[in-house]
Every structure is written in C-alpha cells, then in structure tokens.
Amino acid sequence: MMLIYVIGMLLVAAGAYMAGRQRSASFAVAGGGLARLHSLPSYHGFYVALAAVAPMLVWLIVWLFAAHRIVDAQAIAALPDNLTPVDPLTYGARMREIYQAASGSTQGLEPGVVAAGETLDLWRTVADWALLIVGFALAVLGFFWGARQLSPEFRARNGVERWVKVMLIACASVAVLTTVGIVFSVLFETLRFFSKVPWYEFLFGLQWSPQTAIRADQIGSSGAFGAVPLFAGTTLIMLIAMLVAGPVGLFAAIYMAEYASPKVRAVAKPVLEVLAGVPTVVFGFFAALTVAPFIRSTGESLGLNVASESALAAGLVMGVMIIPFVSSLSDDVINAVPQSLRDGSYGMGATKSETIKRVILPAALPGIVSAFMLAISRAVGETMIVVMAAGLAGNLTFNPLEAVTTVTVQIKTLLVGDQEFDSAKTLSAFALGFVLFFFTLVLNFIALRIVQRYREQYD
C-alpha cells in the first residue's frame, strides 16, 4: 500500500507539473511571449507540483506515526475483559498473539484473541484506505489551490525558492536533531547509571571489573566500576599514537608543502591519503598478527617481559593510521601561509629549513595544533585496532609493554552478547560513551576555535 502511495505521489507530481506548465504556457501565448510572464512556465509547473505533493507527504508522515497506534488500540479494545493487558510486559505478549492471529495461524490461541486479530485486520484495511483516499484528496485540493493562483504576474519563482529553502532546512535539521538526540539518549542512560553507581566512584575509582550478579546467589560478581584504568589505558595508547603520528605526519606535511617537486607531490599526497581510507579492521589485524608478535619477540630477545597484547603495538599501529590526518591538515595550513612571507625570509638569506622553522611553522602553528587535536580525538575514539590488539584487562599501568584496555574496547565488550538492559554493567557503557563523547567534543571545539582565530590572521 505504501508503494502504491509513493508511486501515486510521483504521478501526481508529474501530472501537476505538466498541468501547471501548460497553463502558464497558455498565458504566454495569450499575452504575447514568455517575457510577459513573471516566471518561466517550468516554475509554475514546479509550484503546482509542490502544492499537490507537499500535503500528501505531510499526511504520509502523520499516518506513519499514528496509524499503527490507532489500529493496535482498536485491537486491544476488542479483547474480552479477562485478556486485556495490565502492564507493558503482558501488553507486548498479547499484541504478538494478536498479530499472529491476524496473519492467519490461529492454533492454540484463545477465541478472544482470534476475534481481536480479525478486528486488527479490519482496521488495517481501513487505515490503508484512509491513507490512499485522504492522501489523494489532499493532493487534489493542493493542486487546485496551486493552480488557481497561476497568472502571468504570479511569482512562482519566489514561491519555488521558499520551498527549496524549506527542503534544505529539513535536511539540515535531520543532521542536527540526530546529534542532539544521540547526546540526550546517552545522557539519560548515563544518569540512570549514576543512580546505580555514584559518579565519583566511576570517575575516580581505580578498579574496573564490570561483572554484576545476574542471580542473587552468584559469587564474586559484585561489579566495580572505577573507570580510571580505562582512561589511563586510552591516554597511554593515544600518547604512543601521537608520538608516532605527530612528528611523522608533521614532517611529511613539511616535505609535501615545501620540498617536494610538483610531480612528487602529485603522486605522494594521494598515496598518503589512501592510508586514511584503509579500513581500521585491516590495521587491527595488522596490529594483532604482525606488530604485536614482533614487539613481543623483540622484547624477549632483549630480556623484557612483553605481553602478547601490548599497548605499544596498538599505539604504534594507531599512530600509523592517523598520520594522514595530521599530514593532510598540516599540509593545508602550511600551504595557506602566504608566499610573501617565504619570499621575505629567503630574501633575507635564510635557508629553507630556517624559513620553515622560524617563519612558516610559527605562522601555521594554530592550524597545526588543531590538526593534532583532531588526530587525538580520532585516536581516542578509534575502536577496531584496540579491540584486536590492546586487550581486555583493566590494568592500571603506564608500562607500554603491558596489556591495557581502552574506553572504546570496554564499550564494545559490555554491549556484545546477551545483556540485561537495565543492569549497571550495560548502563556503564553509556557512561563511558558519554565521557568519550564529551572529551572529543571539547577537543573538536578547541580545534575549531583555534582554526577560526587562524583564519582571521590572513584573510
């Protein structure tokens, strides 16, 4: 039924467009040429088509929200008193029975439920027809409302412009509202978590062992939600990654921007950026299967005790992964430094590296700092590499040769598998997610502010 409706909507649009265009063209013929019209015939067509389709679309959205609720309510109302659900749990169970009855398999169901199933079926049909009839009636009304306004002086162009604006606003608000929605849902779950576990224990506790008892008689699973080991692990891996990506990315950017010949640059820059396109899973098994064993064997040959999943392996590979983030952004800001400053420095007899060190880098510093910030927020939020290479045990250590765990790894672990949704264990994932989100938000905010100030400097 939905399909018919959507196809109908397209047909209505096409028909209304043709009709509007035709009508407008006839004005032109009668009035002596297109120049007499305020708007071109195609604008009249678009205007009428929009006038016809917009109400249909609004109705469809209203219907999608409301119809199944009304239908379900009718089915529940049709149930005999003894079967009427009293709480959400029985409501869900009863609805499933009714759906089953409506789909035709009535075996083992109570007659009251079967009757409700028939009611459901009936109301579904009513709802479908309501969609079609009301929808097309609205389309016809809209069409005549639009078509009646057409005249040679009618400002269809401006009308279409308004519609375009409305459409663009709608698209923009989808993105914005989604972000707001995510923030609030995570925030509310976090608050629920904090009602079970005090926030200071979460933020400052030193022990992470999120196993809670499912049964009352279970042993040894009291649950400890001190997230400091996770923050420490995340910070450790992030620092190792930035120690790799910071210098390498920055120096690569300097080479690309200042030393590379146009030919080399044309090849090397895209290749470097391909690195950003490698799926993180690929980096992950590279870290787990190649780098970690290599570090372990190297460490053992030096007489060091290295865990098979070490922070060092995960950090190194993550560092390689974020090199392009640092280098690409830094390259852009270095290129944005005006040529006149380079000329001024070379004209003073400075060498290339003196010019870079004393003039270009200081001038590009804000942009480079913000590139680092974005790389850090990327490193902190990265999951796949650390899942595969970092480990699960919440060790509170800053030794890069030991296994540590990160915020993202724990979120993934907490939510994988069968979980009770309102246990402290599951909810702690939201709290961790909120901390992560807050941290990257602050970093991005700082980065943006720095970039803004930087732009003002040269515009």
Partner 1 sequence: MDVSAASVAKSAPGRAVAGQPGVSPDPKIIARDVNVYYGEKHALKNVTVDVPEKAVMAFIGPSGCGKSTFLRCINRMNDTVASARVTGLIQIDDQDIYDPSLDVVQLRARVGMVFQKPNPFPKSIYENVAYGPRIHGLARSKAELDEIVESSLKKASLWNEVKDRLGDTGTGLSGGQQQRLCIARAIAVSPEIILMDEPCSALDPIATARVEELIEEIRRNYTIVIVTHSMQQAARVSQRVAFFHLGVLVETGQTEKIFTSPEDKRTQDYITGRFG
Structure tokens at 261: 């010949």
Among positive and negative, which fits the CA dihedral 84, 88, 90, 92? positive
Residue 299's identity, in one-letter code, is G
Strand partners, 209: 224
**Residue 355 beta carbon to partner 1: minimum distance, rounded to whole angstroms:** 9
C-alpha distances in Å from residue 436, one per residue of 60, 254, 381: 38, 31, 7
354 interacts with partner 1 by CB under 8 A: yes
359 interacts with partner 1 by CB under 8 A: yes
Structure tokens at 429: 């994932």
**Residue 326 beta carbon to partner 1: minimum distance, rounded to whole angstroms:** 22
362 interacts with partner 1 by CB under 8 A: yes
Query: What's the gap between Cα 133 and its chain centre?
Result: 37
Number of residues located near partner 1, criterion CB under 8 A: 21
User: Which alpha helices (H) appear in 103-155, and where do they start and end?
Assistant: 111-149
- Of the ranges 5-13, 37-45, 180-188, 341-349, which one interacts with partner 1 (CB under 8 A)? 341-349
Residue 368's identity, in one-letter code, is I
- Of the ranges 129-137, 188-196, 287-295, 338-346, which one interacts with partner 1 (CB under 8 A)? 338-346
Footprint (CB under 8 A) of partner 1, residues 104-133: none
Rank residues 136 and 346 by Cβ distance to partner 1 and give the closer one. Answer: 346
Within a 13 Å sphere around the CA of 163, how many CA atoms are in the beta-carbon half?
Answer: 18
Rank residues 107 and 340 by Cβ distance to partner 1 and give the closer one. Answer: 340
Distance CA 127, CA 107 (A): 27
- For 106, counting Cβ atoms within 10 Å of its Cβ (0-12 exposed, 13-18 middle, 19+ buried), the class is middle
What would the DSSP string read from start to end of 6-58?
Answer: HHHHHHHHHHHHHHHHHHHHHHHHHHTSGGGSSS-HHHHHHHHHHHHHHHHHH
Binding residue (CB under 8 A) for partner 1 from 167, 344, 398, 448: 344
346 interacts with partner 1 by CB under 8 A: yes
- Of the ranges 220-228, 235-243, 356-364, 427-435, which one interacts with partner 1 (CB under 8 A)? 356-364
Binding residue (CB under 8 A) for partner 1 from 68, 358, 449, 455: 358
Rank residues 147 and 350 by Cβ distance to partner 1 and give the closer one. Answer: 350
CB 325 within 8 A of CB 377: no
DSSP secondary structure code for residue 79 in this structure = S
- For 85, counting Cβ atoms within 10 Å of its Cβ (0-12 exposed, 13-18 middle, 19+ buried), the class is middle
**Residue 361 beta carbon to partner 1: minimum distance, rounded to whole angstroms:** 11
457 interacts with partner 1 by CB under 8 A: yes
Rank residues 224 and 260 by Cβ distance to partner 1 and give the closer one. Answer: 260
**Residue 365 beta carbon to partner 1: minimum distance, rounded to whole angstroms:** 10
Question: In 3-state terms, what secondary structure has residue 224?
Answer: strand
- Tell me the per-residue interface mask from 239 to 278 with partner 1, x by CB under 8 A, - otherwise: ----------------------xx----------------
Within a 13 Å sphere around the CA of 320, how many CA atoms are in the beta-carbon half?
Answer: 17
Rank residues 186 and 363 by Cβ distance to partner 1 and give the closer one. Answer: 363
- Of the ranges 155-163, 203-211, 353-361, 413-421, which one interacts with partner 1 (CB under 8 A)? 353-361
336 interacts with partner 1 by CB under 8 A: no
343 interacts with partner 1 by CB under 8 A: yes
* Contacts with partner 1, residue ranges (CB under 8 A): 261-262, 338, 340-351, 354, 358-359, 362-363, 457
